[in-house]
Amino acid sequence: MSPSSPPRSQQIPVIVLAGFLGSGKTTLLNHLLRHRAGNRIGVIVNDFGSIEIDAMTVSGQVGSTVSLGGGCLCCAVDASELDTYLETLTRPAARLDVIVIEASGLAEPQELVRMLLASDNPHILYGGLVEVVDAAEFGATRERHPEVDRHLAVADLVVLNKTDRAGEAERTRVREAVAATGSTAAVIPATYGRIDPELLFEPALRPDGEEKARQLTFEDLYLEERARETGEAHGDHLHTAYESVDFTSDVPMDPRRLMGFLDSRPEGLYRIKGYVDFGAGDADHAYGVHAVGRFLRFAPRPWTRGEPRLTRLVLIGSGVDAPALRKELESCREPGDAGPETPQDAAHERAMWGVLRYVQQPGDDDA
């Protein structure tokens, strides 16, 4: 099974979108709604006022839910209602693929991350904290809101927005500020909040095109209009400075070596997805890997009949060294002549399998 085509029953990723007033996070959210890659998106906000729904501005109140084009939903909630609305949005009838929480006014971003990681809802999966930064006004924002450093420190992805209005010196200053917090988050430049949605979520698992008949969505109309205006066949093309690295191995992976790689993954590596074959260590199961920022999760599942016993991983990040990543992963494969196992090796091996069967989450200090 391809890592980009997981089963429909998989958990719905919940992405936290944060950023101070004027950074462009609502613009980015509207961009995602217009370029949703065929997905049905659930959006949780405090206020509908700035969310464009079918080209109209819709006003709402806390406790309201409105329908977005293409089967997407939007809820206006306060923090105390978050679990309730997540329960509503993850019901099978909603048929959602992704949920985005706009953090403005709801709570501190790290508090939202804690709530998600502590949630008892079995249908959700943490999809990362995305912090939007105004590159042109970063210095002024930092003076008004010194807590921005704390937000950057816990972000999984930093979108450096409005780079068309900032010089190279300002861009460098933001990157240095991110690094100074100790964060290894990927930093993606953008204008008007335009990032490739595949940075955050997969193309639709059941594309709208599979339906025999459907209404045109706002995404269809928007892209159609853009194509007429620009003369491009596919509307506006998204160019973002990130890399996607594919890795496939028919040699099983060594759990200790792979965990070492994952624990020390390099700066700028934002997402890892796919399946791992640990060979004789667990011949009955493939291990699904989901990593976003510092969050890491393994989920064993039985191999299906006739499925190739392969490791397939996709790594996504910014400023990463693709050949070096592949070389590191190749070094994580099982050695051909490991030699006799010592008691210490056996103890370490048992500990590794305990970790691999446990859902890892950032501790309180991380979130």
Q: What is the mean pLDDT of residues 203-224?
A: 46
Mean pLDDT of 352-358: 54
Quick one: pLDDT at residue 223?
45
pLDDT tens digits, one per residue of 10-32: 789 999 999 988 888 888 988 88
Average pLDDT, the chain: 76
* Per-residue confidence band for 53, with pLDDT thresholds at 50, 70 and 90: very low
- Residue 264 has a pLDDT of 86
Q: Within 10 Å of residue 1's Cβ, how many Cβ atoms?
A: 16
Residue 21, SS3? Answer: coil
Express each pLDDT in 278-332 by its tens digit: 998 899 999 999 999 889 988 899 999 999 999 999 999 988 899 999 999 999 9
Residue 101's SS3 state is strand
pLDDT band at 107 (very low <50, low <70, confident <90, very high): low
pLDDT-above-70 percentage for the chain: 68
Which stretches of the chain are assigned E, i.e. beta strand?
12-18, 41-45, 52-53, 56-57, 65-67, 73-76, 98-102, 124-134, 157-161, 186-189, 243-249, 269-277, 285-292, 295-302, 311-317
pLDDT band at 237 (very low <50, low <70, confident <90, very high): very low
Which residues neighbour 306 within 8 Å (Cβ) at sequence distance 6 or greater?
none
Residue 344 banded pLDDT, cuts 50, 70, 90: low
pLDDT of residue 352: 56
More confident residue, 194 or 72: 194
The answer, yes or no, to whether residue 343 has pLDDT greater than 60, is: no
HSE, side-chain direction, 13 A CA sphere, residue 2: 6
Q: What is the pTM of this model?
A: 0.76
pLDDT at 119: 86
d(CA 191, CA 163): 6
